[in-house]
Homo-oligomer: A and B are copies of this chain.
């Protein structure tokens, strides 16, 4: 009954590209998709034939388990094209490992590593024209697994669908954001699924984030659900704090996602000789640092935005502005990381992954 990983991919190419319908100058994040998608169904205890076909809607039963019990995990990755036209991914091994970790926590089957990479390479080679050269252009890659058994019993699904869809995006400049430190609402619990990239983790944040937006803030930095004492993560990003010249971020846990950009920032910072502390960081400590002027920066780190600087935070009704120093860590990391991603500089860490038809 186990998956036969030597099964050949079925590839059905689109008859005509839709690329001429897309205005690459006005792309909204995640609204347009490329010509092809990957899908593979888990039925009868095994993953069936991996298939690439033209991007298209899927026909599903209203009793689809993901609609009712939220069994769904995903990853966020990107493909970059350098000036020579070569396409690269960035640390895709990390996403491959993590989607299977997430799947396990949600009682879903793991997807074979070889197929994960073959699917990515095939899709990106097929849809190469959608990946434009140079910084500012990128194709966002969304692998995901959903529970597809048509049954509304509250138990793990017996059927799943693994898909990869690609969305061309502009790496946008969002501007520095104002955030709120969470005092009542929470993102996740000890012993919960906060460390998994589970769909349900995101829906729960929308309402409290809307409340913050109504008050003029763009994001929430989540604190621990027990005491709201420790600063944890920003929901779609990990959070970094710079006090004087020390960079601090919370350790990963049950509640905090092990972000690829987070790990990358830590490694790059250490290489640059910046002192990094991976430890619990309290709200009190950050508020005190803001008051005495030693809080130099706060920023989020995640695949979608890479680095998102914070210009002020609010806590207990008080706004604390942050005056980003001229030599900003946020700016430095953003440049160093994107330069590696776009093959502009050397890659001493071996993080770049060359996309090629030679890989399948």
| A→B interface (CB under 8 Å) | 28-31, 33, 37, 39, 55, 57-63, 66-72, 74, 104-107, 140, 142, 144, 146-147, 150-156, 163, 165, 167, 182, 184-193, 198-204, 206-208, 210, 225-226, 228, 235-236, 304
Contacts and interface: CB of A to CB of B under 8 A. Distances in A.
Nearest to A208: B191
B106 A204 contact: yes
A188 B182 contact: no
B182 A186 contact: no
A214 to B, nearest CB: 12
Number of copies of this chain in the oligomer? 2
A185 B155 CA distance: 17
Nearest to A222: B191
Nearest to A236: B154
Nearest to A39: B62
Contacts of A191: 182, 184-186, 208, 225, 228
A79 to B, nearest CB: 15
Given A60-B58, A67-B144, A199-B70, A204 B210 contact: no
7 contacts: A58-B60, A58-B61, A104-B207, A105-B207, A156-B210, A182-B191, A186-B190
Contacts of A151: 28, 30-31
Contacts of A61: 57-58
B146 A142 contact: no
Contacts of A67: 66, 72, 144, 146, 199
Contacts of A190: 186, 189, 225-226
A203 B68 CA distance: 9
Contacts of A55: 62
Nearest to A30: B152
B206 A106 contact: yes
A68 B70 CA distance: 9
Given A193-B204, A225-B225, A62 B72 contact: no
Contact of A68 (B62, B74, B207, B208): B74
Which 9 residue pairs of A and B lie closest in terms of their CB atoms, listed nearest first?
A200-B200, A70-B199, A189-B189, A186-B191, A189-B225, A30-B152, A107-B206, A70-B200, A69-B202
A186 B255 CA distance: 11
Contacts of A60: 57-58, 60
Nearest to A211: B107
A156 B211 CA distance: 13
A163 B62 contact: yes
A220 to B, nearest CB: 11
Contacts of A147: 203
A342 to B, nearest CB: 22
B199 A68 contact: yes
Contacts of A200: 70, 193, 198-201, 203-204
Which among A147, A186, A200, A235 has the greatest number of chain B C-beta atoms within 10 A? Answer: A200
